[in-house]
Amino acid sequence: MDNSDLKLLIGILVLVGLPVAGWYFRDALLPQESEPAVVEPLPLPAEGPAKIGPIHPLTPIEPVRGADGRLIELPPLDDSDAYFLLALGDLFGSEVESLLAKEGLIDRFVATVDNLPRSAVSEKIRVAGRLADTFRAETTGNENAFYASPENYRRYDQLVGLAASANIDAVVDTYQRFYPLLQQSYQQLGYPNGYFNDRVVEVIDHLLETPELDEPALLVRPNVLYEYADPELERLSAGQKLLLRVGPEHAAVLKGLLRKLRDELTRSPDGRSAKSV
């Protein structure tokens, strides 16, 4: 596992409405003293035949009106950082600005969401920095076996609380307002015939399939990095491992938010939602 960044979780929450966008991954199962190598993004899967239209179309939303009553149009994608950051501040508070990258926010968010079901997320596309606190592992009496300390879960209290306190309707409105830029970024990422909202719903469903553990998972350290002793856990995606790292209570909160978000993003014009996981 690479030394990930939980604040990236915020990235997921914001974009995908996940509190898992907004924000992504801060701590990982790595030794405290090691510096992770940069992992290049995995090759993008080849797309099949062009789709006729999106599976989960979004209802268009009118641009925001300024104090003078005039519509405020979205800026070009390359000039959207300041505008998007302002919108995120309205959703999560001014402190969110210090957690995020200063440029390429929408491109980073879109790439992060797209990479969550994969084995790793490159440092180059992450939205936020690292947590100040270090990861703690506890020994088991066997020098080759460890457990992640439950104290690690507290590192996520602020970020999960930030996500949980956000108004879900406001998050969805912001997502819809910026969707033309998100869609543009997604197509430029390598999906000219794809729809970002469909990918978001697909990623949410994937995250909701994360197994729930009754106790901390056993870790091993074959080399420098910690790994899950259970091969099935070690094969989980970067996004699913994040939900394991935050702890069962935080994971339950995040899954609840993801379900609410999915309901909103799959709601049809007649007000009905597609069945969620």
Q: Which pLDDT score, from 0 to 100, does residue 274 have?
A: 59
Query: What is the mean pLDDT of the segment spanning 94-101?
Result: 78
What percentage of the chain exceeds 70 in pLDDT?
Answer: 73
Q: What's the 3-state SS for the chain?
A: CCCCCCCEHHHHHHHCCCCCCEEECCCCCCCCCCCCCCCCCCCCCCCCCCCCCCCCCCCCCCCEECCCCCEECCCCHHHCHHHHHHHHHHHHCHHHHHHECCCCHHHHHHHHHHHCCCCCCCHHHCCECCCCCCCCEEECCCCCCEEECHHHHHHHHHHHHHHHHCCHHHHHHHHHHCHHHHHHHHHHHCCCCCCHHHHHHHHHHHHHCCCCCCCCCEEECCCCCCEECCHHHHCCCHHHHHHHHCCHHHHHHHHHHHHHHHHHHCCCCCCCCCCCC
Query: What is the mean pLDDT of the segment spanning 65-77?
Result: 82
Query: What is the mean pLDDT of the segment spanning 183-198?
Result: 96
Q: Which pLDDT score, from 0 to 100, does residue 175 have?
A: 93
Q: Which pLDDT score, from 0 to 100, does residue 271 have?
A: 52
pLDDT at 129 exceeding the cut of 80: no
pLDDT at 1 exceeding the cut of 50: no
This prediction has a pTM of 0.79
Domain boundaries, the chain: 9-40+53-134+153-213+237-265
- Enumerate helices (H) and strands (E) in the chain, giving the number of each: 10, 7
pLDDT at 184 exceeding the cut of 90: yes
Structure tokens at 100: 């995020």
Per the model's pLDDT, the better-predicted residue between 256 and 271 turns out to be 256
pLDDT at 234 exceeding the cut of 80: yes
Structure tokens at 74: 């979205």
- Residue 9: phi and psi, rounded to 5, are -60, -40
For the chain, give percent helix, strand, coil, nearest 5. Answer: 45, 10, 50
Q: What is the pLDDT of residues 83-96, one digit of tens each?
A: 999 998 888 888 77
Query: What is the mean pLDDT of the segment spanning 14-18?
Result: 47
Q: Which pLDDT score, from 0 to 100, does residue 25 have?
A: 36
Q: Which pLDDT score, from 0 to 100, does residue 37 have?
A: 36
| Cα distances (Å, whole numbers) of residue 93 to 23, 38, 86, 162, 245 | 13, 30, 10, 8, 25
Query: What is the mean pLDDT of the segment spanning 256-277?
Result: 76
Q: Which of 32-41, 46-55, 206-215 has the highest mean pLDDT?
A: 206-215
Per the model's pLDDT, the better-predicted residue between 14 and 4 turns out to be 14
Mean pLDDT of the chain: 78
Q: Which pLDDT score, from 0 to 100, does residue 123 have?
A: 58
CB 197 within 8 A of CB 56: yes
Q: Where are the alpha helices (DSSP H) in 120-156?
A: none
Q: Which pLDDT score, from 0 to 100, does residue 186 have?
A: 97
- Which of the four pLDDT bands, split at 50, 70 and 90, describes residue 176? very high
User: Which 8-state DSSP code applies to residue 4?
Assistant: -
Q: Which pLDDT score, from 0 to 100, does residue 41 have?
A: 44
Residue 172's identity, in one-letter code, is: V
CA-based R_g, the chain, Å: 19
Q: What is the pLDDT of residues 199-210, one digit of tens each?
A: 999 999 999 999
Q: Which of 39-43, 77-81, 82-86, 103-107 has the highest mean pLDDT?
A: 77-81
